[in-house]
A and B are shown apart, each in its own frame.
Chain A
Amino acid sequence: MAQTRGKRTRTASRRVEGWIKPVEPEFETIQILRDDGSYDEASLPDLTDDQMKELYEWMVFARILDQRALNMQRQGRMGTYPPVGGQEAAQVGSAYALEKEDWLFPSYRESAAMMVHGMPPELTFLYWMGREEGAAAPEGVNVFTISIPIATQVPHAVGAAWAARLRGEKKAFLVYFGDGGTSEGDFHEGANFAGVFKAPVVLFCQNNHYAISVPLERQTASRTIAQKAVAYGFPGVRVDGNDVLAVYAVTREAVERARRGEGPTLIEAVTYRYGPHTTADDPTRYRTADEVKEWQERRDPIMRFRRFLESRGLWSEAQEEELQERLRERAAEVVRKAENYPKPEPTNMFDYMYAELPWNLKEQREALLQELAERGEAR
């Protein structure tokens, strides 16, 4: 035994180098609309003109709501808020690829995706105003609550997908996370489980280049995020996340693969966040104004899609004005609904801890009620 081992070592030592070869997987970035809005007719996804306009409306509405939320935060009417601005195509295009019965597992920046899949935006506003009542979608809307601990939602989608398959359902489970999320153990564990279980999940990474301040090259030595799928034994694909049609087409294919039982897909949507990580962040500390300007002026997802619609005769200045006015009114209504939501009962914090309150919570609840009564705030 020892001899054999010695022999092997000698054989290996004669050839000093060349055993290890760098593997450089190539993942092109799929694009349908070029930065200037031009395109090849043959590559367009199968969407009607009305559906194209619907995609556009969702993106514009997402941006208007985002602006409202940021303004409200500055005015003290909202808590810390993570803006969507710049990532509208990645979110709207992907969520639009789902059917109503499919499930969406969001992280915290997915306000636009959640809305497209049926989450009433006033609930999302309510949530960021600090109200648990806004966390859960209404019954019948297949949007799970957002996960704030990074990438922890990836295994959740895999588990829900397993449960659905056990019930004989053919649904897709779309789970969102960011570029920073791909450094987390839960991303890798979840992706690995998904691969082994051949789970009907779509792992959707919005690569917006920064995890708060840390740039992508400090996050991973991989050239792309899409290539990480190779290690888990399922396809990865890289798409221009500011091209709503490409995001839609790629996600649609992944969703259909999932439904057909062909297993998971990892999608890397390359995009950019215009604003801060959250309203508590100052992005001027870690990126230049020129960089932001480059994305805003040359690669804005909404402008690009508008130029596309105009080039097909589907959109005009008059329509734009009408849309802006209509959506601003709708946004005002969203804010009104959120701000006029009935005030929470302080005892709500106890009422959903368990199906049945244990004695300690009952007593603490009573004590709080007593205190409120003494303050004259009992309801």
Chain B
Amino acid sequence: MPRLTLVQAITDALRVEMRRDDRVVVLGEDVGVNGGVFRATEGLIEEFGPDRVIDTPLAESAIIGTAFGMAVYGLRPVPEIQFCGFLPPAYDQIISHVARIRNRSRGRFTAPMVIRAPYAGGIHAPEHHSESPEAFYAHIPGLKVVIPSTPYDAKGLLISAIRDPDPVLFLEPKSIYRAFREEVPEGEYTVPIGKARLVREGTDVTLIAWGAMVPVAEQAARQVEQEHGWSCEIIDLRTISPLDRDAVVGSVQKTGRCVIVHEAPRQCGLAAELVALINEHALLYLEAPVVRVTGFDTVMPLLALEQEYLPNPQRVVRGIVKAMTF
């Protein structure tokens, strides 16, 4: 079985689906000849040609608007937005049309499309290249939001997203695009949307994370196990809309403690929604308030201070200690 990085797994998923279904097309800035600025679409134009791997002019709203037109007309477009900091110009198309058309047309028209965008920090990029805006999109009715954290999941989730009858925003944690390799099966397989992954079982505290925060949570879990002998259960959400409530609630009911980790600012971040969910379904199981370890409610700093902003294992450990010693 080939050992692939996360970004290679994404290319593999695109290739597998484009071979299987000629309705699948890729479009965006630099996705063709250049193979994408992160090489996520490398080799696709050679195999599938410029009618299905489309280098577009530089205009995010029209990339999503055009992809939407393709989708309602029967294609399965996979537009790429080069960095999720450049999603805002396309926000209007996403919230006004992509996420609404099934409902507006009472099912006559649908928009089965996957918007891919690298997201989050940690690669020393310029301004607007490092934010984590997932909560903005999780708030949009009609849109699914998927975030893989491993090569295996990236491929299986992307294939599921392409086959999904509804629009999916697929956010790719770019700091771990090439962080590690793992065995990724050749050919097609799917990982279901809406289902979290149990990263490791534990009994004392539940850590909830997604994207590049999953390895951070794992590191913190190893540390508190060594230092305190605490057993952490880690849940990788994988899909943040719709949430896997059963996985979250079930784990917190078991452990009675919970730490949620995300890179995005705290206020109205996804952790707030998770806390509400836990309150609604596991309040009486809680031994301590749920702890949030998140980015600050500031503008994402430039690279010099990036590491001070991003949650790190040390901060997660402090959060775990807070939950365990309440």
Contacts and interface: CB of A to CB of B under 8 A. Distances in A.
Interface of A: 132-133, 135-137, 139, 144-145, 147-149, 152, 154-164, 166-167, 185-186, 189-190, 192-193, 196, 348-349, 352-356, 358-360
Given A136-B105, A152-B96, A193 B57 contact: yes
A185 B61 contact: yes
Given A136-B108, A163-B73, A359-B242, A193 B103 contact: no
B165 A156 contact: no
B68 to A, nearest CB: 6
A36 to B, nearest CB: 42
B69 A161 contact: yes
Contacts of B39: none
Given A152-B92, A156-B97, A166-B25, A189 B65 contact: yes
A159 B245 contact: no
Contacts of B59: 185, 189, 192-193
Nearest to A193: B62
A112 B109 CA distance: 22
A182 B101 CA distance: 24
Interface residues of B, number: 47
Nearest to B74: A163
B142 A144 contact: no
Nearest to B67: A159
The 3 closest A-B pairs by CB, nearest first: A159-B69, A155-B65, A189-B62
B75 A158 contact: no
Contacts of B66: 155-156, 158-159, 162, 190, 193
Contacts of B103: 132, 349, 352-353
A163 B69 contact: yes
B109 A358 contact: no
Contacts of B64: 155
Contacts of A186: 61-62, 65, 92-93
Interface of B: 25, 51-52, 54, 56-57, 59, 61-62, 64-75, 77, 89, 92-93, 96-97, 101-110, 141-142, 144, 164-166, 194, 242-243, 245
Given A155-B68, A158-B66, A348-B106, 20 more contacts: A145-B105, A152-B93, A155-B65, A155-B69, A155-B93, A156-B65, A156-B66, A159-B77, A160-B69, A162-B54, A163-B69, A163-B70, A190-B62, A193-B56, A196-B57, A349-B103, A352-B102, A353-B142, A355-B102, A360-B243
Contacts, number: 139
Nearest to A165: B51
Contacts of A156: 65-66, 68-69, 72, 97
24 contacts: A132-B106, A155-B65, A155-B68, A156-B65, A156-B69, A158-B66, A159-B65, A159-B66, A159-B71, A159-B72, A160-B72, A161-B69, A162-B69, A166-B51, A166-B75, A185-B59, A189-B59, A192-B62, A352-B103, A352-B105, A352-B106, A352-B107, A354-B142, A355-B166
Contacts of B106: 132-133, 135-136, 348, 352
Given A136-B108, A155-B62, A166-B51, A360 B72 contact: no
B115 to A, nearest CB: 13
A189 to B, nearest CB: 3
A158 B243 CA distance: 34
Nearest to A138: B108
Contacts of A166: 25, 51-52, 75
A149 B96 contact: yes
A145 B70 contact: no
Contacts of A349: 103
A158 B62 contact: yes
A189 B61 contact: yes
A137 B108 contact: yes
B92 A144 contact: no
Contacts of A132: 103-106
A61 B164 CA distance: 43
B138 to A, nearest CB: 11
A192 B56 CA distance: 10
Residue of A163, A190, A349 with highest tally of chain B CB at under 10 A: A163
B308 to A, nearest CB: 36
A165 B18 CA distance: 18
A185 B61 CA distance: 8
A139 B109 CA distance: 10
A360 B242 contact: yes
Contacts of A157: 69
Nearest to B52: A166
Nearest to B62: A189
Given A162-B69, A355-B166, A155 B102 contact: no
Nearest to A133: B106
B33 to A, nearest CB: 15
Contact of B109 (A144, A155, A161): A144
A355 B141 CA distance: 13
Nearest to B65: A155
Contact of A190 (B65, B89, B107, B243): B65
